[in-house]
Amino acid sequence: MSNEFKQNFQADEPEQRLADSMGAEPIIIPVIEEQLQIGKRVIETGAVRVTKHVIEESQTVDVPVSREEVIVEHVAVYQYVDEAPSVRYEGETMIIPVLREVLVTEKRLLLVEEVHVTKRQITDQETQEVILRKEEITVERTGPNHERPA
């Protein structure tokens, strides 16, 4: 190779020129460089549908229910007293005196009877029907990879 060729080939120009030794037209050899560009884009590949169902169930439950009962007893006493006794309590029993005037040579109070009133609490089991609700969720996926409901 000639020196002229070496000099032309080693030039720092973007296009290297090459001439042959016979004086022909110079050959232009372009220098190519590839560059990489990276980008992103959003592609929809499917969709999701969420459905909520409310389910009602009937359940039977035993519920304690309280009530009060009053027991009334008449207790005969038939005793003479000097003055009217007042209402009194013995435990949970209220005692109400019942008086009558009687004619004797003298007037006295005769305790004829006492009414005993007792209050007690009774708890019974009653069956009641209640409605309970619960929710269930159904998820359906659509698209190329999700054709069956999940």
Q: What is the pTM of this model?
A: 0.38
pLDDT tens string, the chain, 150 residues long: the values are 445 444 444 444 444 445 555 566 777 888 888 888 888 888 888 888 889 988 899 888 888 989 889 999 999 998 889 899 999 999 989 999 999 988 767 778 889 898 888 888 888 888 888 888 888 888 888 876 655 544
Pairing of strands 27-29, 16-18: antiparallel
Using CA atoms, how far apart are residues 112 and 53, in angstroms rounded to an integer?
73
Ranges of each domain in the chain? 1-38, 47-142
Question: What are the phi and psi torsion angles at 6 (to 5°)?
Answer: -65, -40
